[in-house]
Structure 1
């Protein structure tokens, strides 16, 4: 049997350098399902909307060439191929795409397992119809001829029955494929009433099939089961629709609805396919790659803490007292003060220093992946899961320390799971049922006010109490001036050695740096020193000949650190006005233009003109 009567999906051929954005528009404007990618007239592979979606979730720039997301799991065929050859190719790999070539070896259409199944379905309907016609004819002949004559006809009927048995086998296979597919499937009639769902539908939506079958999807949406109802959108727009659907129990799924039209062009069926957002394989692979570069589990390293202030001496003394204690610690402070440094110092000097320090930035890991990254998952837990399963970061920290940075970014749902880990000292992997014991010490850190978040319902009170056993607050750098001087000396030596320089900081520049507020704290100070060393020659650098412009406000170079603002106590509003006046005067004396004053002070030109009149022209 040849594949002449088999209709594949339309395909369009594009060059490999075509941008992802341009390919997206082709899908929107053309009635095609596949794009074939070629490079130098050689076929590279296939791109579907799935690859576009994965590229979007992976953060790949839209101007990137489509060759970077091409699926090369392809095979080639022409219409001379026999049907069994096609099925053999797909039996080897059901996810493979078969590109059908024209006589000029150009891509004409694409054959998938779905196409073959549809073909056999149509053939089965055709056979059934032929059988009905043949049976009617046989009944008529039976009345007219003898039994001997009828036996000839009976032979043909037996052949039809064999064909029907084969069709039954295909039907059973189709049912198995539908029921046990890892993706959620639902079949609706033309009015939007659910006729059939599979097992994955129940797993992903937490909706039992008896709650869905026979119910209009609009009513399901009204009951809060999910929103939006994709079936309703398909009926309204009469085309394929893909949306991110909110499901009860705070779940999300990527749902695609496809209309099936009858001979009159009316919607006869609607097929919906849903994938749990957490299970999008490409996001997982992308994050694993990023995690290896940025958020991998880190082994202990020596930690050097530079300090002179009394506040930091007290903190270091406290951490030294905690070295033989396993209590949970919550470190608070502004961004850049060194919360991670203190956490590593505690681990390296504590009873768990021989174990592993696993650092997790709760704000950097996508919310959809955080649970599987923290807890790990069992084999086959979701689409794309490793066959052997995967240990989570909490398991990796066993007998060591788990450092949860930016704990305030963790969702309420995951806060519950973390609380269970702390209380029960065990975890259950995603897709698993058996608890796994873990022996870990937890150190959390945040730049947010967790108590305020608790009051607003954004952080669990019971988890806050569990974490806040030993609180450590690191004051900002501007409140510990003696540490600034010590750090300047340390970082200056570090970067002079790194860049083979001998930059020395003069007193005027040093005084200005000590008085600066350092809103970015230690991180900002270190970056400023590196910039100073890189951009200046080996010499003594004063504030007037600094080429690095480390504060990005050169007008500060004329500002006296011994002004009334630093020597006298005055009401805060007066101090603000006095500083504002000085800044406007300094800027205007250097840049006698309201436009330039506005630019350096980062205010509007209207505001700059008003301030110049207020503080200079009207004085």
Structure 2
């Protein structure tokens, strides 16, 4: 409406301009400018609008320096404003926060561009499509780049962009999608041991059924991965899959989180009430992770919900019918807890219809090589590295006890990938330093006289090179090894030298 009023005001000024023999009435013209300013400043807050739309907005200057991201950007990508604000896009890409996107394409072509982009702040990573638009100043020079984007999940609702998306998607190889998105991997149970094959065969048989499943195993062994595969292969894979970590939610809040509550149920409750996780999982699947940590009184209510196939909100009077497939997971010995009176026997048997026990990684070393290949490939892609392990290094990993199981292996491989040079096999000293305190005594060969002699010779060579050099870089060149490797060997042999406590700035950066 206000635009129409501005147009009417402008037409009035133009009519008076013609009546006055094309002489501009400066007073009326100033009134029009003030009129426009008053509406543009008081009636429309463009920043508030952009901050509240669902579409992500990402703005940089002409050089790719990030000036602004809206609130939806973090919600859609998992990338925090602090990860990208006041940084250059090439640096952000090099760090592995995201790949692709339209910003650099717009800067290079100075035209509107459409590109796919993948962000890596969530697991699995998220893929979306972006549209970049150049903004020019009065001289026709590029001033800013505005990129809008949406997650790929919303594509079906955006038919106008569908054709362009398909064209761009063809440029992505199946390999890059496989590495970047675990959900596209046909089987996340990586390995070829007899134990894992037996688990995989059992999963394929029970996943299509409606039976409750209890997954047991040590922490980090992959219980949630097995649950994901069960859901993926089930007939409910297009329905909700709600995961509840019973150990992560305080006991006094777990009941309200699971069952929800009606308005006014307790002090501080949401005035509109709240839907519980059971309701959210209705017609789908509910994973009760760390179920062994649940309090006894809550176990009774869980049992009643499973038996009666209904739930009642806290403070509510109306039962809500349920149709849920239950999966439970725990690293506890539930049988022992039942014997100790810490876990209800009737709930145990309700959940224990199909038991799946996952052996610890130390009992299936045959899977370690395949797991290493999988995670190294993933982290090389994520961090733009080319790290690899030799066969002897993989054998060393197979001798490790792995108290943290697959999760620990994943974390170590991520650390090694980040800290490696990126273009060669990993330095074995780095690997041994990570594992030496945890490898069983009988898994490492005892040091022989020959071994001691070689170590003494290596120590002497290092001491001689340090005496002839001004810094670690020069000494490393004499020994044909990197400064970082030399630094680790100095620590390994506890070598003392005059400049040990006064390293140069370059040495510190190298180390």
Look at both structures and tell me which one has the larger radius of gyration over its CA atoms: 1
User: What is the TM-score with the length of structure 1 in the denominator?
Assistant: 0.41
| Structure-2-length-normalised TM-score | 0.50
